[in-house]
Structure formats: C-alpha cells, structure tokens
Structure 1
Amino acid sequence: MIHTLLNDLDALYVVIFLFITMLTAIWIGYKIGFKKAKVDKKNSEISSSLLGLLALILGFTFAMAGSRYENRKNNLIDEANCIGTAVLRADIYPDSLKNEFKKDFKEYLKSRKAYYLLENDEEKLNASLKQSAVASEKLWNRATFYAKNKDYFIQSNMMVPALNDMFDSASKSNMVLNSRVPETIVYLLFSFSIIISFFIGYNSGLEKKINVKFVTGFCFLICVVIFITLDLDRPRRGLITLDSEISLLEKLNQP
C-alpha cells in the first residue's frame, strides 16, 4: 500500500481545511477587488468559465471514484461466488477429504474477510495476505495431489478449475481494492476550488458588497461533493463501505 499525505489524512479533515482555505481565498479576493474603482465585466465572464471548468473536473473526478467503487463491489461479489463454488465442490470428495478441504476453506475465508475489514495498518494487512497465501497453498497442494490419483479424476477436474478461478478473483480484488483516483486530479480539483473562490470574492469586492450566505453555501456544497468523492475512493474507512458485500463472505462460513 502506498502511503501519501492525502490518502493518510481523514477525508473530513481534508474538506474542513479546504473549506477554510476557500473562505480565506474569498476574503482575500474581496479585499483586493474592493480597492478597485471600476467594475470589469470581463471578470464575470472569467468566473463563469472557471465555474464551468470546476463543474467539469468535479464531475469527472466523482465519476472516476464512483466507477472504482462499483468495480470493488462487483469484484468482491465475484470473489465470494468463486469461493462459494469451490467450497461446494469439496462435497464431491469422500467425507475424510471433504472435511480437510472445508477446514482449509475456513482459514482462507477468515483471512480474506480480515483483509477487507482491516484499516490502513500495513503490518496487519500483510499478515492477512500471508495467511491467505498459506491457506491457498494448502488447498492447491491437496487438490493437485489427489489430481494425480485416477480415483479422484472427476473430483479433480471440478475442484482444480474452481480453485484457479478463486485465486484469480482474489488477486483481481486486491488490485482493484487498492486502486485510487490519481492524486494529481484531486489536487487539481482543490486548486480550482480555491482559485474560483478567489474570483468570487474579487467580483464581490468590485461590486462593493458580498453575499455571505451565498459564498458560505457555495464553499460548503463544493466541500460536501469533494468529501463524498474522497469517501468513495477510500473503501477501508469512511461512511461508504463494502459491508453488505463483505457479509457474503461471512455467509460462506456458516454451515
């Protein structure tokens, strides 16, 4: 996992800082504009163009975060289905072997569920991945060992592909779970929000009046949308999580 200042900070703290910075930019712009004697109509046109560009970047960033969130959900559902299929196929083995498979599947499920529920604790995440790797190796070694036995030809032809699909889906889920909106785009969004706030304050200064409710509401709404965007892009913490999808793994543990 890559640690950066933006990713490590809580989204709420980020937007609170942004909100204060936007209000400060409006105040600075107002003070500068208030000293001007004449109103330049071109400033309003520039502000309108910048607002349109901000809306474009905001919508683009939100769409990227939403797309990644949907991918995480779909991949987690797909992984749960693959695990469920493999677990069911253990039933075609004799009871002695079936119980051994089920025991390993239980360890594997426990480690996979822990991986999704853990927050940004590098040590615990790596330990969970190692536990998954150990359980995966046990399952694969057992399946391939009995695949060499002609008495288990049918069972092996069903179990080996199921395990392969299960491992592939886990690898894909790990990659998608850690996928983020590029921070360059997020910083660009922050920059435009602050620049536009400055122009709003500047135009208000030229008009010698400022609508406090309007500028406060503008900053608040922009920060709310950015907060939701950041929250969508942080599956391990925040308001928007994958709890309902993770519960599918919990159901697989039930007898």
Structure 2
Amino acid sequence: MSWVHELVNELPISSAYIFWCTFILLGSAACGGKYFFNKHNPHFNDDQAKIVLGAILSLLGLLIGFVLSISIGGYNERQKTEENEMVVIGAALQRTQLLASPQREQAEKLLHQYLDARIEFFRADNRAENKKWRITSVKKQTELWEIAVAEANQAPNPVIASVLTAYNDLYISQEKTTVSWRYQIPNIVWALLIFFAIVSNFLIGYNARKEQGINTIILLLPFLITMALFIIAEIDIPGKGVIHVTPDDLLSLREVWDNPNK
C-alpha cells in the first residue's frame, strides 16, 4: 500500500480541505434527513420520497457525467498546449542556428531561460506564480524577437524571416496555454451539483429514518458523491493538485538540449 502513502503525502492541503468539507456537508445532510424527520409526515409518505429520490439521483448522475466530461476536456486541452509548446520551442531552437555567431549564442541562452520559465509555469500551484512565470517568459520572448529583428534589418532574407516566424510562434503558443489555463466549470454549475447532492443525501437519510441507531450505510452515498465531485474539482483545477498537467514534454526537451550526445 505504498501508493496510498505517496498519494496522501502529495495531497495538497486545499485538496484535502475540499474533500472533507464536501463529505461533512453531504454526510450532515443524510444524517439530518434521518434524525430530524424521524416522525411520520402525512404530507410526504415513503413512496413519494422514494420516487423523488430516484428522480434526483438520476439527474445528479447525468449532471456529474456531463460536468466530468467538461473537466476532462479542459484537462486534455492543457495537455495539448504543453505538447505544442515543446514543439514550438524545439523549432525555435533549430531556427536559432541560422543566426550569426554572437546573436546565436545570446539567443540560445535566452531560449534556454524561456524554456525554464515555461517549465516553472506548468509546475506553479497558484495564480501568482503562474503570472510571475508568464511575465518572465514574455520578456524572454521579446528579447529573442529583438535579436531576430536586428538581424533582419541588417540582412533581410527568407532565412531570417523563418527565425522571426519561429519566435512569434513562441508568443502564440504561450497565449494559447494561458487561455486554456482556467477553470472550465462555472460556479453556478458547482452550486447546482452541490444542491442536488445535498437534496439526494437528505432523502437517503429520510428513507432510512425508521432504522434504529447509527446506520453507516447512509454515509456510503455521501462518500461516493464526494469522491466524484472531488475528482471533477481536481481535474478542473489548472495548477498543482492530485490530478494536474505536468511539463513532461518540456522536461524531455531540456534533457535532450542539455545532453545532446545521449
């Protein structure tokens, strides 16, 4: 069970906070339905409760499936942007070899710093760090562009034009990543999911109100719904979490760049 310990150790505090708060909220709703409405209500009999519960659970299942597909779509988009940045940076490195010697060495150094900034952007676990590394990468891209422009002014030709295009692609790929680096699920959708989850768990407790003692079985649905919402939230969070996009392609490019003979 070593993987369990590794997961617990890597679990961010914010992720654990989301999980336990959701579970306590839904568990309280289930217990509330059982213990606060344990007397027979002539206006809301058991058959009605079961019909309503079945309908709400069906709608909740559809909502969870739909929202999960949206979050996975956003996650896949972030993966694609990371892969695209690796391709664009690799192409820029190749085009840099076309520059004259002094400019080439300076451009290679800037490009290496740009790659490091993009790696740190994907590793950042909050918006402040994301913004910091985004600004850094924009500055490095601007300096690269100025080097290519100066070279083009001295000797305008199609070769230098290809270098300008490669450096411009750096900015375009970075902006595409920035656009994808956001939450895909609106707050109103989260509110709707939580509302349906609370009502369904309340009705689970209401249907179990005739059972004596503490029924751990009524906590099963809150736990399962909490797990589903937790996974959706972790996939939807752009930064660091249990499930997040890692800069594997960019790290691979840096490894090849630093060790060209391997």
TM-score range, shorter chain: 0.7 to 0.9
- C-alpha distance after superposition, 1:151-175 (max 9, x if no partner): x513212111111222101011012
CA-CA distance at 1:189 after TM superposition:
1.1
Q: 1:217 to 1:40 in 2, by over 3 A?
A: closer
- C-alpha distance after superposition, 1:202-238 (max 9, x if no partner): 1122x44688343222111111111111111123221
CA-CA distance at 1:57 after TM superposition:
1.2
Gaps of 5+ in 2: 1-11
Match of residue 143 from structure 1: 148
* 8 A Cα contact 2:234 2:243, kept in partner: yes
- C-alpha distance after superposition, 1:72-125 (max 9, x if no partner): 000110111011101111112233332121011012112222222122162x44
1:168 counterpart = 2:172: yes
* 8 A Cα contact 2:123 2:240, kept in partner: no
CA-CA distance at 1:46 after TM superposition:
0.6
Match of residue 220 from structure 1: 223
1:53 counterpart = 2:59: yes
Aligned partners of 2:95, 2:57: CA distance in 1, in Å? 57
Output aligned runs, 1:120-131, within 5 Å.
120=126, 122=128, 124-131=129-136
Match of residue 204 from structure 1: 208
**Partner-residue secondary structure (3-state), 1:54:** helix
* 8 A Cα contact 2:238 2:244, kept in partner: yes
CA-CA distance at 1:56 after TM superposition:
1.1
Aligned partners of 1:37, 1:98: CA distance in 2, in Å? 81
Match of residue 27 from structure 1: 31
Match of residue 109 from structure 1: 115
Gaps of 5+ in 1: 1-7
**Partner-residue secondary structure (3-state), 1:36:** coil
Aligned partners of 2:234, 2:215: CA distance in 1, in Å? 28
Q: 1:75 to 1:172 in 2, by over 3 A?
A: same
CA-CA distance at 1:9 after TM superposition:
7.6
CA-atom RMSD in angstroms = 2.3
Match of residue 242 from structure 1: 245
Q: 1:179 to 1:21 in 2, by over 3 A?
A: closer
> 80-89 or 105-114: which moved more?
105-114
**Partner-residue secondary structure (3-state), 1:162:** helix
> 230-239 or 32-41: which moved more?
32-41
Aligned partners of 1:157, 1:252: CA distance in 2, in Å? 26
Aligned partners of 1:80, 1:73: CA distance in 2, in Å? 11
**Partner-residue secondary structure (3-state), 1:34:** coil
User: Structure 2-normalised TM-score?
Assistant: 0.85
* 8 A Cα contact 1:77 1:248, kept in partner: no
Output aligned runs, 1:5-16, within 5 Å.
10-16=14-20
1:74 counterpart = 2:77: no
Output aligned runs, 1:80-95, within 5 Å.
80-95=86-101
% of aligned pairs identical?
23
Q: Which amino acid aligns with 1:43?
A: A
- Number of residue pairs the alignment of both structures matches: 245
User: Structure 1-normalised TM-score?
Assistant: 0.87
Aligned partners of 1:248, 1:64: CA distance in 2, in Å? 29
> 131-140 or 26-35: which moved more?
26-35
Q: 1:37 to 1:190 in 2, by over 3 A?
A: closer
